[in-house]
Amino acid sequence: AGAQVNKTEVRTAGVIEFHRLKTAKLNDGSIIIMNKVGEIYVKNAQGVVKERYPGVYGARIFIEEGGSVTPGQRILEWDPFAIPILSEVSGTIRYEDLVVGKTIKEQIDAVTGLTHKVIVETKDTALQARIAICDDNGKVMIVPGTKREAVYRLPAHAHIVVDDGEKIEIGHAISKAQRETTKTKDITGGLPRVAELFEARKPSNAAQISDISGTIEFGPELRGSRRVIVRPEDGGDIMTYSVPKGRYIIVNEGDYIRAGEAIMDGPANPHDLLRVMGVKALASYIVDEIQEVYRLQGVKIDDKHIEVIVSQMLKKVQIEDAGDTNFIQGDSVTKHIFEEANAALDPDEQPAKARSLLLGITKASLTTESFISAASFQETTKVLTQAALEGKSDKLRGLKENVIMGRLIPAGTGISRYRDYEAMVDEEEQDKIEAVGLQI
């Protein structure tokens, strides 16, 4: 299995700049990242951003903003096995609704003999396990720059690392939850993940992603599910998401979240990413996820090989508005047929509108325009019978169908536009060729 990544090292020399990054300085002088959406830029002497790295929540930063870095220098380090909840203020810990046997259980560590308090799921909806940070008068403190109280809800299975009445500083961890241990980190667990991505399946434990950018708020629980509200900064419509109990919410109240970012743990559903982020972001996500499995085994695969497959998975669109074309709403057609139909319309006619589709490689192969190509893959008899019943014709546009028919493939010099070219040879060259021919 590949080792867990727990640090960030820069690849180029430059100057560090923080972007949307909230930090806190601890008593020992170390700097901790306090939010989940910040980034760290590495700029060259001309001020051009050469690298950008995500700021990992709870990570320790080893260089201040404006500092210079050299290639290979470590700038971030974090615990790869735990997700912390950090205090945004300095004050005194107060347990709220932390009842042994109801919302927490005590576990004894077999190695150290120490007792740990662990949050458990409770059926009593009136109890919500949380920790408040209070001032010296016992009043709950307000997080600076907001109107929000410093009260932190604790997810199920989180380990509490502070005691009731303990005084803590800003940036101190209140609880730690175990990161989802990914079985996909070795090749045996990784290949099912690769198959899942190429077949465009929805992951069984898919994470909910945000449809809009905005600020996180928590609403009241509804039928055992927690509600996460995303409020856009421009005052538009809010979005509300239900998170089932037992799933770990990776955002905190007051955090800024961008469209397409996950609200809870787990892999993203590629169909959701396509809907929210578009074709380019989805293609990049699939390539990166597949490469991660192989990179951990030291296997180098050029991105272009995966990109060829992804382009076939994204070759179709679904008609949403037929306009003045001959399409029917709900039709699935290839992009070039869709573009040809719109291009053939008169300027005063209404073009069709469509949205991109993501097909698994099996379905993409069977729904290709060419029945010869489809028949060579799966369900040969069914595909050929269907083609005969519909009187289909094959224009032999792809590679597979041309190989099967023994023709030149439409690539390189075999592309149709090169077939009628005539090579002109001047007289001097012609004489040389003929002279060589006579010698032979």
Same domain, 199 and 278: yes
309: nearest Cα among 378, 364, 254: 364
> What pLDDT, in 10s, does the model give residues 9-52?
888 899 999 988 888 888 888 889 988 778 899 998 888 888 88
Same domain, 76 and 92: no
At 303 the pLDDT is 92
* Terminal C-alpha separation, the chain: 63
Same domain, 26 and 68: yes
- Which amino acid makes up residue 297? Q
Same domain, 67 and 134: no
At 2 the pLDDT is 42
At 307 the pLDDT is 93
Strands (E) in 120-202, as ranges, are 130-134, 151-153, 159-160, 167-168, 173-178
Domain count across the chain: 3
- Single residue among 53, 80, 107 that ends a domain in this structure: 80
> What pLDDT, in 10s, does the model give residues 194-215?
899 999 999 888 889 999 998 8
Provide the residue range defining the domain that includes 120: 84-178
Q: Mark out the alpha helices in 314-398 (DSSP H runs).
A: 335-343, 361-366, 371-375, 380-390
At 355 the pLDDT is 92
- Single residue among 178, 200, 225 that ends a domain in this structure: 178
Segments of the chain scoring below 50 in pLDDT: 1-3, 181-184
**Helix/strand number for the chain, H first, E second:** 10, 25
At 368 the pLDDT is 82
Same domain, 76 and 88: no
Residue entry with tokens 């180098």: 300
Strands (E) in 265-352, as ranges, are 316-321, 332-334
Same domain, 48 and 150: no
How much of the chain is in helix, strand and coil states, percent to nearest 5? Answer: 25, 25, 50
| 409 within domain boundaries | no
| 400 within domain boundaries | no
Same domain, 240 and 284: yes
How far is 432 from 440, CA to CA, in rounded Å?
A: 13
At 404 the pLDDT is 93
- Single residue among 115, 148, 178 that ends a domain in this structure: 178
What's the CATH code of the domain at 21?
A: 2.40.50.100
Same domain, 148 and 196: no
| 68 within domain boundaries | yes
At 188 the pLDDT is 65
